């Protein structure tokens, strides 16, 4: 096991880093020297390398214990210490991770999201994997598109893709048939269907205005011509697309009045309870939806704009190795194990998402086929959010707050676009 260059006190130091010894590195060093006593153990302790890995699964009954056992049997000398960290709406997981990086107590590797890549990069918290990836024989089992989506702005690969979801449109097959409707392919057809289904206290479209609103806003506004480049949200086309989206609630009233604060649980529950005819989510809720509605529910890719433009959210999950890790080789063995072959399929079952490997997807039976098909059919328009340190603030605060204000009529829809543009380009 190579262990990287070591400083005299046992902490990992590169000459380049010493020059720019800022507060963060200082804290890490302070932490490392505090630990140095503990690390200077006799040689026999080194036979066993322990890799600390942080993960989160939606179902607390799912544990990676079997995967860990399998890996440890195949890799004697490496022990995996897997730790479930509460997701807490994303905030808890991320807070714990960033605090650990600041305090120098980060694990060797952890599940991470693309939207935080810029912030990690700015902290120089992650280790580029390119060198290790070049020697990894299962790399080609993950499609080039996915590698491209995960690449950092500096051209390096910090993330090892693990599994993913793509946002699509859930719809009620039975109600569409009764009304003589086809699943919508364009925005106009979507509005038409939503109007037709809105009756007797039921609403055509279960809009998500609370946490996670970006996956409902994006398809119509970014798909309708908006972009995050400077001024890209303020073109007449983008503003019109956004107005059209907000008017689904304010003018056409095809969304439940609770939409401004509805988050995933409310939109999925309303759809399951038969109170909405369409809703926008991904395969992660397919099992629940089928459990409640059976064959009545199906899914298709999101509708597109009149000019053929479309956008849907690529929900990623990857593993990354922290630059402060002393067991990078071992950590890489573990995360590459999770992203290849059978293990990746097992791992996708635990997380309720889709395997990342081409081979794993071919034999995938974890979800009913129509939802898997809808996910694949959505890939051509699947995009990620901008690679910016501002993105988490867009997702967590600026978009939901301003979209809610637009939905409740407190501000003009155009002000929402100005606020988002201000965040990214102001």
The piece of 150-158, 185-193, 221-229, 397-405 that touches other proteins (CB under 8 A) is 397-405
Least distance CB 131 / other proteins (angstroms): 25
Which residue bears the tokens 């269907």?
193
The closest of 176, 180, 177, 149 to 162, measured between CA atoms, is 149
**Residues comprising the chain, all counted:** 426
Show contacts with other proteins in window 64-103 (CB under 8 A): 81, 83-84, 86-92, 94-96, 98-100, 102-103
Largest interatomic CA distance in the chain = 76
Q: Which is nearer to other proteins, 352 or 360 (CB)?
A: 352
Residue 23 interacting with other proteins (CB under 8 A):
yes
Residue 388 interacting with other proteins (CB under 8 A):
no
Q: Which is nearer to other proteins, 185 or 253 (CB)?
A: 253
Residue 231 interacting with other proteins (CB under 8 A):
no
The sign of the CA dihedral 32, 125, 6, 49 is: positive
Radius of gyration of the chain (CA): 23
Q: Which is nearer to other proteins, 155 or 201 (CB)?
A: 201
| Cα(170)–Cα(309) distance, integer angstroms | 20
Show contacts with other proteins in window 232-291 (CB under 8 A): 256-266, 268-270, 272-275, 281-282, 284-285, 288, 291
Residue 301 interacting with other proteins (CB under 8 A):
no
Show contacts with other proteins in window 207-226 (CB under 8 A): 209-211
The closest of 153, 257, 277, 261 to 205, measured between CA atoms, is 277
Residue 295 interacting with other proteins (CB under 8 A):
no
Residue 205 and residue 279 in contact, taking contact as beta carbons nearer than 8 Å:
yes
Residue 230 interacting with other proteins (CB under 8 A):
no
Residue 50 interacting with other proteins (CB under 8 A):
no
Looking at the DSSP assignment, which residues form a beta bridge with residue 168? 281
| Cα(282)–Cα(290) distance, integer angstroms | 13
Query: Torsion angle of alpha carbons 117, 118, 119, 121, nearest 10°?
Result: 80
413 to 145, 154, 262, 417, 420: CA distances (angstroms): 34, 35, 19, 7, 11
Using DSSP's 3-state secondary structure scheme, residue 270 falls into helix
Q: Which is nearer to other proteins, 1 or 21 (CB)?
A: 21
Q: Looking at 278, 404, 419, 424, which residue binds other proteins (CB under 8 A)?
A: 404
Q: Which is nearer to other proteins, 60 or 155 (CB)?
A: 60
Q: Looking at 184, 310, 396, 413, which residue binds other proteins (CB under 8 A)?
A: 396
Q: Helices 328-338 and 341-351, interaxial angle, to 10°?
A: 70
Show contacts with other proteins in window 325-384 (CB under 8 A): 352
Eight-state DSSP code of residue 184: P
Q: Looking at 7, 12, 17, 24, which residue binds other proteins (CB under 8 A)?
A: 24
The piece of 23-31, 134-142, 235-243, 322-330 that touches other proteins (CB under 8 A) is 23-31
Q: Which is nearer to other proteins, 199 or 307 (CB)?
A: 199
Burial of 43 (0-12, 13-18, 19+ CB in 10 A): exposed
Residue 153 interacting with other proteins (CB under 8 A):
no
Q: Looking at 27, 29, 152, 179, which residue binds other proteins (CB under 8 A)?
A: 27
Residue 11 interacting with other proteins (CB under 8 A):
no
Number of residues that bind other proteins (CB under 8 A): 84
| Cα(229)–Cα(118) distance, integer angstroms | 17
Residue 214 and residue 399 in contact, taking contact as beta carbons nearer than 8 Å:
yes
Least distance CB 261 / other proteins (angstroms): 4
Q: Looking at 104, 161, 204, 303, which residue binds other proteins (CB under 8 A)?
A: 104
Show contacts with other proteins in window 105-134 (CB under 8 A): 105, 119-120, 122-123
């Amino acid at each position: 096991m190579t262990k990287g260059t070591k400083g005299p006190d046992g902490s990992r130091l590169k000459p380049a880093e010493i020059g720019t010894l800022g507060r963060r590195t200082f804290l890490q060093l302070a932490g490392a020297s505090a630990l140095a006593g503990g690390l200077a153990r006799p040689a026999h302790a080194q036979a066993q390398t322990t890799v600390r890995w942080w993960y989160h699964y939606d179902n607390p009954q799912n544990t990676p214990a079997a995967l860990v056992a399998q890996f440890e049997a195949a890799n004697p000398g490496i022990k995996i210490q897997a730790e479930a960290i509460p997701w807490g709406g994303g905030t808890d997981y991320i807070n714990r991770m960033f605090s650990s990086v600041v305090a120098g107590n980060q694990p060797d590797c952890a599940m991470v999201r693309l939207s935080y890549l810029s912030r990690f990069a700015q902290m120089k918290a992650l280790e580029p994997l390119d060198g290790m990836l070049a020697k990894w024989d299962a790399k080609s089992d993950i499609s080039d598109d996915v590698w491209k989506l995960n690449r950092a702005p500096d051209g390096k690969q910090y993330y090892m893709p693990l599994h993913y979801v793509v946002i699509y449109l859930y719809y009620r097959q039975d109600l569409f048939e009764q009304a003589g409707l086809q699943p919508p392919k364009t925005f106009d057809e979507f509005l038409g269907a939503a109007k037709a289904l809105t009756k007797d206290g039921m609403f055509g479209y279960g809009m998500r205005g609370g946490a996670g609103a970006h996956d409902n806003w994006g398809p119509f506004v970014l798909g309708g011509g908006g972009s995050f480049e400077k001024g890209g949200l303020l073109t007449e086309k983008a503003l019109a697309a956004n107005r059209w989206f907000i008017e689904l609630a304010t003018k056409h009233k095809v969304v439940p009045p609770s939409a401004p604060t509805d988050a995933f649980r409310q939109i999925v529950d309303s759809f399951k309870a038969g109170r909405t005819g369409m809703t926008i989510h991904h395969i992660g809720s397919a099992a629940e939806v089928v459990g409640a509605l059976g064959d009545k529910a199906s899914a298709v890719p999101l509708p597109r704009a009149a000019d053929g433009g479309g956008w849907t959210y690529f929900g990623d999950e990857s593993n990354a190795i922290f630059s402060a890790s002393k067991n990078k080789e071992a950590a890489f063995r573990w995360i590459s194990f999770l992203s290849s072959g059978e293990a990746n399929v097992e791992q996708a079952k635990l997380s309720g998402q889709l395997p990342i490997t081409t081979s794993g997807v071919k034999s995938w039976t974890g979800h009913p086929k129509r939802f898997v098909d809808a996910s694949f059919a959505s890939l051509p328009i699947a995009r990620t959010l901008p690679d910016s340190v501002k993105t988490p603030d867009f997702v967590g605060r600026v978009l939901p707050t301003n979209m809610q204000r637009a939905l409740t009529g407190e501000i003009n829809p155009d002000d929402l676009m100005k606020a988002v543009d201000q965040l990214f380009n102001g």
